[in-house]
Structure 1
Amino acid sequence: MRITTDRFANAFDDIRKRALSDGCSVLILVAADCDALCAYHMVKDLLRAEYIKYKMMSVENQVDLENSKTTIKESQGQIKVVLMINCGGTVDVAQVLDLSDEEQEDLCIYVLDSHRPLNLDNVYSENIRVFDDGETNIPQPEEVADSDSEDEDEDTDSGEPGAKRTKWGDRMAARIAKQQRLRSYYEAAYYGVSSAVLVGHLVSELGRSSNAFLWCSALGLTDQYLHDKISSDMYVQQALTLQSEILKFNSEEESRRHRGVSLAVEEDAKFFLLRHWTLFDAMRHSRYLVSRIPVWTNKGEERLRHLFATMGVSLQTCKQVYKTLDTATKAHILEQLKEHGHAYGLDTITFLSFTYRTGYEPAVAASDVVYAVNGILNHTAPEEDVQRRVFKALDCLSMRKKDVFEFGVHCAKEQEMAVMNQVQFAFQDDTGPRQRWHLAMVRTESKRFFTRPAMLTKLAQFLVDVRRFNTMKAYRMRQQVVAIQNEEDDTTTYVGVWSRSRHREGAVVPNLFSSLFPAVAEECKADYALPEFDGAVVQLLKEHHGRFVLKLMREIIRITREQQQQAAAAAAAE
């Protein structure tokens, strides 16, 4: 069942009534990503304001989601509501949680998930409620399900044989069309509206908006934008809506009421953690800049230095800690980048962003908080499990623990440098420029940074952008797969990012690897697991690597050829 935005308040009222009726609690299953934690941070405050008991469990993958059924069954009916944030939307929840019909009727499950496509079993279920962001791609039941009339025995038709054959042909054509519609719907993975933004709609509908809630919505939206989950057009649309709310709550009078906490909407440069190291380092580790200027080559390094010279900014200034520069110098650098960046392919050097300020403290940019939170979530240490990392990330989101924020910044820097080193190695080792795809294996010395698929995805997106925006022929666009071998359980994890050679900057390409990976694994008769909520991740035993990669290569070549033929036909028709 889908819950539209105008019924969000009714859904929360239903949760409140169910939880308070018998003193029962709400189980919140939260994915280990920044957007989900921002949404949880807001939901938690709403439940506390209503004195509703709740329990939070962080789920990092599908295995954790399946294990949560133990908590539900052991509660002996004390859990009446389950809220899933950025998890559960792409799978059949009733099947994953192993719920009987009676348990489904007694338990109310809400799914708030930005992963797409949504599982239609959840959408059509009467006992599972899916928060709707207004997506129009979801098919109606009659578009994909065979009706009873189509299964009637054709012998009951008293017409002529020719008419019988025509009717049978029409039924088969309709059935094939429905199967094709279903395949098309599940073909590629993509993302919908940020879960934190949707909770922001709920808060606004309840009349409880505040700077704290608006800041969480801004962080969730920024997380999606920085990690290529939504298009720039969608980001700007949502950001402008947030901007109007922020301006309403941050007049001088309102700022005094909010105890000195203020939000602002400002331009931010597309450089990695600019305010937390030097301009030179921030630019050299920025995916936006490196994809246009390959700084790991002598020629790329020379171009970057030439850009500084053209701007009239000395290398000594660029290598000073950015926050120690005076305001006039910072403004001059940004103006010069806008003026001279076009000659280096840097056409959109800034984007609309948000800042958070408390009292006389320096303003904190939303992008920096997002990078810090993801740095904590992707940090790998033997003594830290997913629960510890999630709670530390929540401390970072609270904006009250500066040491945790600084730790997140440190982790993010280390991870970005590891990604840069891997990018450099991938292009130095790229010996097949004529192929339609590229497989990058993570180097042994860098494995500790890439144990989480989110880091593999970041690396794959980095490689895709270098091919997409660089003019060198050796970097021609190809489908990108990144893999890492896990010696402990003798498996290999693959992450894929699908690309198109001609899509405009800021657009997002649906990821066909989400359906391609399991299809190829099944054809190879290889046991596989889809461990992540993001469908474009697959894990196989290492012994299946050779035949999986060979079959995958053939399928990629076939699909890309078909896409090129379709594009050529469409261009000819125009």
Structure 2
Amino acid sequence: MRHSLYSTTTLRLWTLKGEKRLYELLAEMGLPLVQCRQKYCGMDISLRNELQSLLESKAEKYGLDNLLFASFSTSQGFRSKFSAMDYVYATLALLETTDKEKTPTDAFLDVTDGLTISKLVVMEKGLECSKQQLEAIYRQMQTFLDMNQVISAGPFLYATVIEGTPDARFFAAPHCLSLLARFTLRAHVAVSRSKKSRSLPLIITTPDVRSPEPNTCLVCGIPPTSEESPRNFFGKAFEQAANKTGSKAELEFFDTNIIRLSVDDRSKFFDALISLLS
């Protein structure tokens, strides 16, 4: 629950008050901390069987109405169950591995192995990698908020992962960077005193430590939390800003709202974005 986007931002778990509310929730559910700190498969079976009903009974009080959702699951023998969401997170983590010895081809082959029911050990490895990603995202999001590093540029908010940040190796990948952006924006809106923050999109930049080219960064833009449509206008805006300023930009990602940019061009690129989106 600590590293889930929904529960983290709803309970504001990066604050002392939010941490206290989490412990209160667990106490009211009758879950000992010793059990909560174990892997799910290692918990007492009686607690596991009652967990869903316990969560449902306390969800409304803590504003967690959407904590549970319908899904599919699979299991083999007495091994842990895997939900469809587990597969999504594990697969993406395997594809965006931080292991420098693995090529993109190796990562893809790991994913194909992990989708085979007889090789659940690969999927378990993917889940562990996913947990590391989420922990890194949580730490960076907390840093952004604690250091007031989410800044308003007028038509949008922006935040920058500082060069040399230990977790930057995770964020130099499209999916993980997008997750960081979503976590950061929702958390910022949850604590911001400005009502306008709900209507502002967010742009995050991070050093592209995985790129063979030096002095490059990734730029990711996401729509405001008040925007219910899945449309994302940043792809076109990034392209126009790059063309207008002559910035050295690579628009090679599947998601057009993510680009690779020369750090030297970042300032003028952002100035052009402010002009375009104002």
Does TM, scored on the shorter chain, surpass 0.5? yes
AA of the residue aligned to 2:14 = W
Secondary structure, counterpart of 2:148 in structure 1: coil
Report if the CA contact (8 A) 2:41-2:80 is conserved.
no
1:458-498 CA-to-partner distances (Å, cap 9, x unmatched) read 11122233245x26526933311111223642222201111
Percent identity, aligned pairs only, is: 27
Does residue 473 in structure 1 map to residue 193 in structure 2?
yes
What is residue 107 of structure 1 aligned with on the other side?
Answer: none
- Number of equivalent positions: 270
Does residue 496 (structure 1) correspond to residue 214 (structure 2)? The answer is no
For the 8 Å contact 1:499–1:509, the answer to whether it is kept is: no
**Cα shift at 1:417:** 0.8
| TM-aligned CA distance change 1:532 to 1:424, over 3 Å | same
Matched, 1:551 2:272: yes
Shift of residue 332, structure 1, vs aligned partner:
2.8
Match of 1:297 in 2: 15
Residue of structure 2 in register with 1:389 after alignment: 107
Structure ID, larger Rg: 1
Any unmatched runs of 5+ in structure 2? none
The RMSD of aligned alpha carbons is 2.3
Q: 1:471 to 1:493 in 2, by over 3 A?
A: closer
> What's the offset of the Cα at 1:436?
4.6
Match of 2:94?
Answer: 376
Shift in alpha-carbon separation, 1:437–1:529, aligned structure 2, 3 A: same
**What TM-score do you get using the length of structure 2 for normalisation?**
0.87
Structure 1 counterpart of 2:231: 510
- The Cα of 1:389 is off from its aligned counterpart by 0.4
1:529 is aligned, of 228, 250, 274, to 250
Secondary structure of 1:344's counterpart equals coil
CA distance in structure 1 between the partners assigned to 2:30 and 2:80 by the alignment: 27
Cα distance in 2 for residues equivalent to 1:416 and 1:537: 20
**Unmatched 5+ stretches in structure 1:** 1-282, 559-574
Residue 545 to residue 296, structure 1, CA distance change in 2 (3 Å)? same
Structure 2 CA distance for aligned equivalents of residues 540 and 398 of structure 1 = 37
Q: Against the structure 1 CA distance between its residues 342 and 396, is the aligned structure 2 distance closer, same or farther, given a 3 Å change threshold?
A: same
Change (3 A) 1:360 1:415: closer
Change in CA separation of 1:405 and 1:518 when aligned onto 2, cut-off 3 Å: same
Spell out, residue by residue over 1:358-382, the C-alpha distance to the aligned partner (whole angstroms, 9 max, x if none): 4555533222222221111111222
Matching residue within 33, 55, 60 for 1:337: 55
Check conservation: 1:500, 1:509, Cα contact below 8 A: no
Aligned to 1:284: 2
Give the Cα–Cα distance (whole angstroms) in 2 for the partners of residues 537 and 399 of structure 1.
33
Opposite residue 19 of structure 2, the aligned amino acid is: E
SS at match of 1:440: strand
Is 1:520 equivalent to 2:241 in the alignment?
A: yes
Q: Secondary structure at the residue paired with 1:388?
A: helix
State whether structure 2 residue 80 is matched by structure 1 residue 357: no
Match of residue 105 from structure 1: none
Structure 1 residue 396 displacement after superposition: 0.2
The residue number in structure 2 matching 1:484 is 206
